[in-house]
Chain A
Amino acid sequence: MSIGNTLLGLLESGPRHGYDLKRLFDERFGHDRPLHYGQVYSTMSRLLRNGLVEVDGVETGSGPERKRYAITDAGITDVGRWLATPERPEPYLQSTLYAKVVLALLTGRDAAGLLDVQRSEHLRLMRELTRRKTEGDLADRLVCDHALFHLEADIRWLELAADRLDQLAGEVA
């Protein structure tokens, strides 16, 4: 995920302090990987340098200075461009799973067993995500569904590979 573009997008609804931005990011997108404060401040420094945000005010008190950031017109244009640009789909051509299957066949190991064990491991994670989704709110559901559909795609590949093992064994021999 592009943290810079995401933080910039969050600023469109109004100016915020770095701490508020971190909290908002973690709530909406952080789930398993909350941002470090250092990441927020280094990203905001970069956006400031590039003219995409400006300092809207500085609070001084007993602690360190707290800058409030606001998005600039150039920043709004940048967010719009980012949202309109499709993400490059992952090609998934360097698959470790595929390499393991081929190596198992080449070395006379149990390739079918490898696929069975991998499917079971995928399903174990799918169970965890399904539990989390069932107990969570709509945002949790969408995040978990995204992961679940990818895991399901992997399992479909595992099952297809299992069906084609004999053929593959003939080709790699």
Chain B
Amino acid sequence: MSGTTAAENTAALLTATRLRKYFGSTAALNGAEFTIDSGEVVAVMGPSGSGKSTLLHCLAGILEPDGGTVRYDGRELSALSDAERSRLRRGDFGFVFQFGQLVPELTCVENVALSLRLTGAGRGRAESSAMEWMARLEVDDVHDKRPGQVSGGQRQRVAVARALVAGPRLVFADEPTGALDSLNGERVMELLTGAARDTGAAVVLVTHDVRVAAYSDREVVVRDGQALSPATGFGGAP
């Protein structure tokens, strides 16, 4: 892949080319390039405020960039309708955020099953798959508890189960261990990357923590709105 620009890498699962995003007069992204292949875990690193999360949100179709393109599986995100983009986010993408962002009124198993219910699965099948994933993430014992009744580490494992239950091809994880202690953070990373590798899902892992980034296959560093990669001597992402 080295020496190939994001635009030329047609085999990639997702590519972003010359992404620009402004907040007022501030350029959060200023020509960022990014690419990820199926099954790859790529860490997006950089100091606070460097544009890491903005890049993730643009790649996932949550934010619309002011310039540049994001192509997922050959389709340009900006060319999709809102409904098509939502379908993509529910079916093909999984999300893990720093604070889990589970629905507080639902039990843990209902939270995990929700991802499948939104894609049209019936309650029985959705909750049965949810239980399988919760067992894999070692939280099946809290399935009937609400998120507020379980520990931070358990909540984050439930969030990982929710991200993976629908069989996504691409998981976006934004500081997934940011609110956890070292041991819980380590276990969440092992389970997240282990499950992703087993299912062949790719992971975009935004983190400022190098110990978390060490679970990735490679890293890009966001600086001054650009995503820089060691493969190009930090002269721009491949």
A148 and B211 form a contact (CB under 8 A): yes
Tell me how far the C-beta of B191 lies from the nearest C-beta in chain A, rounded to whole angstroms.
11
With contacts A116-B221, A134-B190, A159-B47 taken as known, whether A123 is within 8 angstroms of B214 at the C-beta atoms is yes
A6 within 8 Å of B by Cβ?
no
B228 and A123 form a contact (CB under 8 A): no
Query: With contacts defined as CB atoms under 8 Å apart, how many contacts are there between chain A and chain B in the complex?
Result: 39
A122 to B230, CA, bound (A): 12
Residues of B within 8 Å of A134, CB to CB, are 190, 194
B107 within 8 Å of A by Cβ?
no
A53 to B215, CA, bound (A): 46
A155 and B210 form a contact (CB under 8 A): yes
Beta-carbon nearest neighbor of B219 in chain A? A123
Residues of A within 8 Å of B210, CB to CB, are 122-123, 126, 151-152, 155
Per the CB 8 Å criterion, the residue count for chain A at the interface is 17
Per the CB 8 Å criterion, the residue count for chain B at the interface is 16
Q: B224-235 vs A: 1/0 string, CB under 8 Å?
A: 000010100110
Q: Which of A113, A126, A152, A159 contacts B234 (CB 8 A)?
A: A113
16 A-B pairs whose Cβ atoms sit less than 8 Å apart in the complex: A116-B234, A117-B230, A117-B234, A123-B210, A123-B214, A123-B219, A126-B210, A126-B211, A126-B213, A127-B214, A130-B211, A148-B211, A148-B214, A152-B210, A155-B210, A159-B47
- By a beta-carbon cutoff of 8 Å, the part of chain A in contact with chain B is 113, 116-117, 120, 122-123, 126-127, 129-130, 134, 148, 151-152, 155, 159, 163
List 4 A-B pairs, minimum CB-CB distance, nearest first. A126-B214, A120-B230, A130-B214, A116-B234
